[in-house]
Amino acid sequence: MHARMMHREVMTNLNLTWPTLAAALGTGLVAGMFYAFSSFVMPALGRLPAPHGVAAMQSINVTVLTPSFLAIFLGSAVVAAALGVHAVIYWDRPGAALRLAGAGLYLVGTIAVTRLGNIPMNNAIAALDPATPEAAAYWAKYLSTWVMWNTVRTAAALAAAGAFAWSLRTAAAA
């Protein structure tokens, strides 16, 4: 390989190290947050009387929208999308398939599932008066369906983190 081409190859891989590491850490952090909800937060809320569980979830859905959460959640999506585009353009680069897989897993399995599954359910529960029978009936359905979609996005974010991390190893070994 010509020295100039070799230098460009090394620089391309180095230039991807930090964004790929950021994507791996960000998606892993999101997976951990979502895992906590599926494994113990939602089961704990499910043990409360329905009006208390609904009111607690309404409060959580408002307080989660902090700059720190949104920076990690949406920032990871921006970095993942950029890495996915880069992987398509530079498909021959080491780790490109893994970066594209990580991007797809996070953007579809986490962001799209959140937008199409969890957010509509959160909006529906936000509109309810916790003390009504309608809220209690919705809460029973909400618990199982919301957790199912949350578990999908947890697995997708974790798999994305794994793909991004593995792509770092693949690129380093090349």
Average of pLDDT values for 104-125? 98
Interval 25-80: pLDDT, tens: 999 999 999 999 999 999 999 999 999 999 999 999 999 999 999 999 999 999 99
Tokens (6 digits) for 106? 């996070």
pLDDT of the residue at 173: 78
Q: Are 114 and 152 in contact (CB under 8 A)?
A: no
DSSP 8-state class, residue 66: -
What is the Cα–Cα distance from 99 to 93, expressed in whole angstroms? 10
SS3 assignment, position 129: coil
What's the pLDDT score for residue 11? 41
pLDDT tens-digit series, residues 82-93: 999 999 999 999
Reported confidence tier of residue 172, pLDDT bands at 50, 70, 90: confident
DSSP-derived 3-state class of residue 131: coil
